[in-house]
Amino acid sequence: MKIVVLAAGTSTERTVSIVSGTGICKALRSLGHQAILVDVFAGWEDVDVQTAFDDDYDVDELAAYIRGFNDKIPEMKKTRREFFGPKVLDLCREADIVFLALHGSNGEDGRVQAAFDLMGIRYTGTDYISSAISMDKSRTKQVFDASGVSTPHGCTVYRGETRKTAEEFGLELPVIIKPCCGGSSVGVTICHTEKDVEAGLALAFSLEQSAVIEEFIQGREFTCAVIDGKAYPIVEIHPKEGYYDFTNKYKAGATIETCPAQISEEKTAEMQNLAVKGAAAVGMQAYGRLDFLMRDGDEKLYCLEVNTLPGMTPTSLVPQEAAAVGIDYAHLCQLMIEVSLKKYND
Is 106 marked as binding a ligand?
A: no
To the nearest 10°, the Cα dihedral for 53, 59, 65, 70?
Answer: 110
Catalytic residue (choose from 20, 130, 134, 316): 316
Residue 90, SS3?
Answer: helix
- Please tell me the distance from the alpha carbon of residue 122 to that of residue 92, in angstroms, as a whole number: 9
For CA atoms 299, 264, 246, 330, the dihedral sign is: negative
Catalytic residue (choose from 13, 108, 221, 236): 13
* 224 in Cβ contact with 294 (< 8 Å): no
Catalytic residue (choose from 184, 236, 321, 340): 184
Parallel, antiparallel or unpaired: strands 97-100 and 2-7: parallel
Rounded alpha-carbon distances, angstroms, from residue 203 to 60, 164, 278? 35, 13, 29
Asked about 11 being catalytic, the answer comes back as: no
**Crossing angle for the helix pair 14-30 and 59-67, nearest 10 degrees?**
170
| 56 CB-near residues (< 8 Å, 6+ apart) | none
Asked about 184 being catalytic, the answer comes back as: yes
Is 248 marked as binding a ligand?
A: no
Asked about 266 being catalytic, the answer comes back as: no
- Please tell me the distance from the alpha carbon of residue 62 to that of residue 198, in angstroms, as a whole number: 43
Backbone torsions φ then ψ of 10, nearest 5 degrees: -120, 0
* Binding-site residue set for Mg(2+): 291, 305, 307
* Binding-site residue set: 291, 305, 307
Residues classed as catalytic: 13, 184, 316
